A and B are shown apart, each in its own frame.
Chain A
Amino acid sequence: MTASFPFLSRLPARISAHLRPRASLRALVFGLAVSAALPALADNLPEVQRLIKQGQYSQALDKVDSYLASKPKDAQGRFLKGLILTEMGKPNDAVAVFTKLTEDYPELPEPYNNLAVLYAQQKQYDKARTALEMAIRTHPSYAIAYENLGDVYAKLASQAYDKALQLDNSNSAAQNKLSLIRDLISTSARPNVRPQAPAVAAAPPVIPAPVQPAQPAPKAVAAAPTATVITTTPAAASAAPVTPAKPGEAKVADAKPAAPAAPKADAATDDVTKALGAWADAWSRKDVKAYLAHYSSDFQPPKGMSRKAWEAERHDRIAGKSGKISVSYDQPQISVNGDKATAKFRQHYKAGSLDTSTSKVLVFVRSGGKWLIQEENAR
């Protein structure tokens, strides 16, 4: 995974130097800057950055720890450590690192900004807001913080609206969080948005990886999606002609979410694709009855809920939602194994002001000629 954090900013070239907006912008767009942009770094920090870029976080962490063993106060090293911990999915450790940095170097806006991103990720928007306002107070021209603050204000506004209007966002809250994590960690997987970023392992594998000649390890990274496809769809290998795992084909079909999985897909795959389409359609039409009919009788509702309670909740959240609901998805990856099938896809859910994307896995089971959902997992 690349270290492309739209929110997280890198430390400026020289800590004491005042910030140049242009430099921030570059950091913003290109993610963590290449080592060449950091001439003043000692010894092995460029190596740490290289490892981060390659997604080798534990090695990067080892390196930065040994670096910090000799220079425990070094801001740049600690900042990188915070980034690594964030990438490794250790937000609390990362928060600790950035918090300490803000205490030791209160004049630096970047640690505040990154703290805010981590807080926002944990939906602690008030804390995020405070951190960003601090960043701006120290550096009134710090553009990233303004942008992030705008987003945090929007989040806080939406929380206030939830309270004011009693909106049922308990479901979407979870989705928000997920999509936020994705935005943080794998925005780069959307080629149309971030053309510079290489696709990464965590991204939906069907999206082709643009080759980045400028990047140090483009081939290794670009190879990852293909590998992922193969490893994550073992059924594809055993159950013969199923979903194409080739990025190139997926790209063609990418424009039409509900399009058949692949030209060569067999009948079962077709049927699952249709079932998936009908399921999303019923949801979008707010036709709860039709929607629920897509679930098998042995479907396990989440959180240990009873089937009845789950159905009631779905009814509330679908039929009870005012305004339109739109559920669509990117090219699904479908594998069939006898009477079982798995569909993996990126789901886009829109309702009112809410717009989320979630990675979803549906396990279908064939029952009386129909494919019904037996498991539903969001990642």
Chain B
Amino acid sequence: MLGRQLLLAALAATIATGAYAKAHKPGTKHPKPVAAKPAKNAKARPIAAAATAALAAEVASRPAITVSDSGPEPQLVKIFKEIEANRLGNALQLTENLLRQYPNFRLGNLIKGDLLLARTQPISNFGAMNGAPSDKVADLRSEAIARLKGYREKPPANYIPRYLLQMPPDQRYAVVVDTQRSRLYLYENDVANGGRPRFVADYYVTQGKLGAEKVAQGDKKTPIGVYHVTSSLPRQKLADLYGSGAYPLNYPNEWDKRQGRNGNGIWLHGTPSDTFSRPPRASDGCVVLANQDLDAVGKNLQVGLTPVIISNSVEWLTLDDWNKERTELNKTIEAWRADWESRDTDRFLKHYSRRFQANGQDFDQFASQKRQVNGGKEWVKIKVSNVSVFRNPGKEEMVVVTFDQDYRSNNLANVMKKRQYWIREDGKWKIIYEGAA
């Protein structure tokens, strides 16, 4: 309580403060400021002297207010820098600025609490409050680490996520999520530049409580794979938990289903009103953004089109390597198309894996049906357009290919949107699934 401690510490502290204040007037820098890690130099420092030192340091230099709209990370980095340099007054000032911008930022409030507490007593750890619930402190600590890492280890400018191999011209943006880094990367389809993915922005995200690689309903994990946004749900239709909006994803996709994965309701969504952000692992599998970030990302999302590729750990390619992979796959797809047009069924079937399975057919059933159909054709013309090629994250080498297929033959014409999953078998890309998209 206020006052209680005062009485007990009054004599010693007053004398200490008096003497101290004489020696170090505010405005002069204290040689031994209060330590955030007091193990080193905040031994039996009288309480009031700690307050004095902190105040003196603060009076000495009040940092200019800087406001950034690129999220709290740049300011967090500065704050931690000040703490490391023992300039706790500056750190507090910066933290207060940060909180003016994001009042509900729990991590910021925790740092503020620590910095204030450090003025009254030596503190030895993050979340130093006596009796602080350790799970919540641990959550905020991991958020701090995730945010700082994400900010410091931005992807190199000339590297491209391996997954974005080919985007169709009408697709404007692509989303890549790295669950280990708690980061979402937004890329623009730079059509003028040959469809090269161009980095736009990155954001802190929350994933499932129990991490990634969703397998089953209720496992509280975030799925890994190539998805897309299937609709857009406005704030008015949602509970507060989802924040400023939600974009459902098509989990489980064709491949997930084939792998026996289930569950549903994996969304990209915002944050409830009582907090700026959530811990790195907190959702039931959804990818959660701060509301302002969701709004920024959301305005670029095209329903049914924008890919949302979720990876454990994003792989980055140099432009050269990316070009090589992209060319190889485009050639493979073109060979498949040409071989189909050739009506040489054996050549055509070489593009299919023995493990192929789709529409209730296994490879043999599919093969005999194709032989039969091709036998009745005098000519076949196939046009493939709006091709997208996205590499599926994970150990298995797989790509998801989607395109508009315009099939014409002497006795049938059909236009459809098709999706294929290609896997690499013995160094060759083979189709393991195909169907209408």
Write the residues of chain A forming the contact surface with B, with a CB cutoff of 8 angstroms.
Answer: 6-7, 21, 24-25, 28-29, 120, 133, 136-137, 140-141, 143-144, 146-161, 163-167, 176, 179-180, 183-184, 187, 193-194, 322-323, 351-357
Chain B, 99-133, CB within 8 A of any chain A CB: 104, 106-110, 112-117, 119-121, 127, 129-133
B26 with A136: CB separation less than 8 A:
yes
Given contacts A21-B18, A150-B120, A352-B130, contact A155 B52 (CB under 8 A): no
List 5 additional A-B contacts (Cβ < 8 Å) besides A154-B116, A157-B112.
A25-B10, A141-B22, A150-B48, A160-B112, A164-B113
**Complex-state Cα separation, A193 to B274, whole angstroms:** 42
| Nearest-CB residue, chain B, relative to A194 | B7
What would 20 A/B residue contacts be, using CB atoms closer than 8 Å? A21-B15, A21-B18, A147-B14, A147-B48, A151-B2, A152-B2, A153-B51, A153-B116, A155-B2, A157-B112, A157-B113, A160-B112, A163-B106, A164-B108, A164-B110, A166-B136, A187-B3, A322-B133, A323-B131, A357-B1
A contact face: mostly helix, strand, loop, or mixed: helix
Q: Does B5 touch A at the CB level, under 8 Å? A: yes
The answer, among A147, A152, A161, A184, for a CB contact under 8 Å with B109, is A161
Complex contacts, B191 vs chain A, CB 8 Å: none
Complex contacts, B10 vs chain A, CB 8 Å: 25, 28-29, 147
Given contacts A29-B10, A353-B131, contact A157 B114 (CB under 8 A): yes
| Nearest-CB residue, chain B, relative to A146 | B48
| Nearest-CB residue, chain B, relative to A165 | B136
Pick the most buried of B22, B52, B121, B140: most chain A CB atoms within 10 A of its CB.
B52
Complex contacts, B6 vs chain A, CB 8 Å: 6-7, 28, 147-148, 151
**Complex-state Cα separation, A186 to B10, whole angstroms:** 18
B14 with A150: CB separation less than 8 A:
no
**Complex-state Cα separation, A156 to B52, whole angstroms:** 17
| Nearest-CB residue, chain A, relative to B274 | A166
Complex contacts, B13 vs chain A, CB 8 Å: 143, 146-147
Task: List 9 tightest A-B contacts by C-beta distance, closest first.
Answer: A352-B131, A164-B110, A157-B116, A160-B113, A164-B109, A143-B14, A163-B109, A21-B18, A161-B113
The answer, among B4, B109, B114, B120, for a CB contact under 8 Å with A183, is B4
Given contacts A154-B116, A160-B113, A164-B109, contact A6 B3 (CB under 8 A): yes
| Nearest-CB residue, chain A, relative to B140 | A164
Pick the most buried of B5, B131, B140: most chain A CB atoms within 10 A of its CB.
B131
B9 with A147: CB separation less than 8 A:
yes
The answer, among A25, A151, A167, A194, for a CB contact under 8 Å with B120, is A151
A165 with B133: CB separation less than 8 A:
yes
A353 with B129: CB separation less than 8 A:
yes
A153 with B120: CB separation less than 8 A:
yes
Pick the most buried of B14, B15, B104: most chain A CB atoms within 10 A of its CB.
B14
Q: Does B55 touch A at the CB level, under 8 Å? A: yes
Minimal beta-carbon separation of B149 from chain A (angstroms): 20
B113 with A158: CB separation less than 8 A:
yes
Given contacts A143-B17, A158-B129, contact A150 B3 (CB under 8 A): no
| Nearest-CB residue, chain A, relative to B117 | A157
Complex contacts, A150 vs chain B, CB 8 Å: 5, 47-48, 50-51, 119-120
Q: Does B137 touch A at the CB level, under 8 Å? A: yes
| Nearest-CB residue, chain B, relative to A128 | B2
Q: Does B384 touch A at the CB level, under 8 Å? A: no
Number of interface residues of B (CB under 8 A): 52
Chain B, 109-168, CB within 8 A of any chain A CB: 109-110, 112-117, 119-121, 127, 129-133, 136-137, 140
Complex contacts, A154 vs chain B, CB 8 Å: 116-117, 120-121
**Complex-state Cα separation, A152 to B21, whole angstroms:** 19
**Complex-state Cα separation, A153 to B88, whole angstroms:** 13
The answer, among B17, B127, B130, for a CB contact under 8 Å with A141, is B17
The answer, among B1, B110, B112, for a CB contact under 8 Å with A165, is B110
Write the residues of chain B forming the contact surface with A, with a CB cutoff of 8 angstroms.
Answer: 1-11, 13-15, 17-18, 21-22, 25-26, 47-48, 50-52, 55, 59, 104, 106-110, 112-117, 119-121, 127, 129-133, 136-137, 140, 274
A137 with B116: CB separation less than 8 A:
no
**Complex-state Cα separation, A245 to B302, whole angstroms:** 79
**Complex-state Cα separation, A141 to B14, whole angstroms:** 9
Complex contacts, A133 vs chain B, CB 8 Å: 55
**Complex-state Cα separation, A349 to B127, whole angstroms:** 23
Given contacts A133-B55, A157-B114, A157-B120, contact A24 B14 (CB under 8 A): yes
Complex contacts, B130 vs chain A, CB 8 Å: 352-353
**Complex-state Cα separation, A210 to B59, whole angstroms:** 45
Minimal beta-carbon separation of A19 from chain B (angstroms): 10
**Complex-state Cα separation, A156 to B113, whole angstroms:** 7
Complex contacts, B274 vs chain A, CB 8 Å: 166
Minimal beta-carbon separation of A28 from chain B (angstroms): 6
The answer, among A140, A144, A152, A160, for a CB contact under 8 Å with B25, is A140
Minimal beta-carbon separation of A162 from chain B (angstroms): 8
**Complex-state Cα separation, A122 to B110, whole angstroms:** 23
Complex contacts, B129 vs chain A, CB 8 Å: 157-158, 161, 165, 352-353
Complex contacts, A164 vs chain B, CB 8 Å: 106-110, 112-113, 127, 136, 140
**Complex-state Cα separation, A160 to B1, whole angstroms:** 17
Pick the most buried of B17, B112, B115, B119: most chain A CB atoms within 10 A of its CB.
B17
| Nearest-CB residue, chain B, relative to A121 | B2
Given contacts A161-B113, A352-B131, contact A7 B2 (CB under 8 A): yes
The answer, among B1, B25, B116, B132, for a CB contact under 8 Å with A156, is B116
The answer, among B1, B50, B112, for a CB contact under 8 Å with A180, is B1
**Complex-state Cα separation, A101 to B93, whole angstroms:** 29
Complex contacts, B21 vs chain A, CB 8 Å: 140-141, 146
Complex contacts, A140 vs chain B, CB 8 Å: 21, 25-26
B7 with A187: CB separation less than 8 A:
yes
The answer, among B14, B59, B112, B137, for a CB contact under 8 Å with A25, is B14
Minimal beta-carbon separation of B1 from chain A (angstroms): 5
**Complex-state Cα separation, A149 to B10, whole angstroms:** 13
Complex contacts, A351 vs chain B, CB 8 Å: 131
**Complex-state Cα separation, A352 to B129, whole angstroms:** 9
**Complex-state Cα separation, A183 to B106, whole angstroms:** 31
**Complex-state Cα separation, A368 to B351, whole angstroms:** 86
A184 with B3: CB separation less than 8 A:
yes
**Complex-state Cα separation, A187 to B48, whole angstroms:** 21
Complex contacts, A7 vs chain B, CB 8 Å: 2-3, 6
**Complex-state Cα separation, A148 to B48, whole angstroms:** 9
| Nearest-CB residue, chain A, relative to B104 | A163
| Nearest-CB residue, chain A, relative to B121 | A154
Complex contacts, B52 vs chain A, CB 8 Å: 146
Minimal beta-carbon separation of A196 from chain B (angstroms): 11
Minimal beta-carbon separation of A112 from chain B (angstroms): 14
Minimal beta-carbon separation of B102 from chain A (angstroms): 11
**Complex-state Cα separation, A152 to B119, whole angstroms:** 10
Complex contacts, B18 vs chain A, CB 8 Å: 21, 141, 143
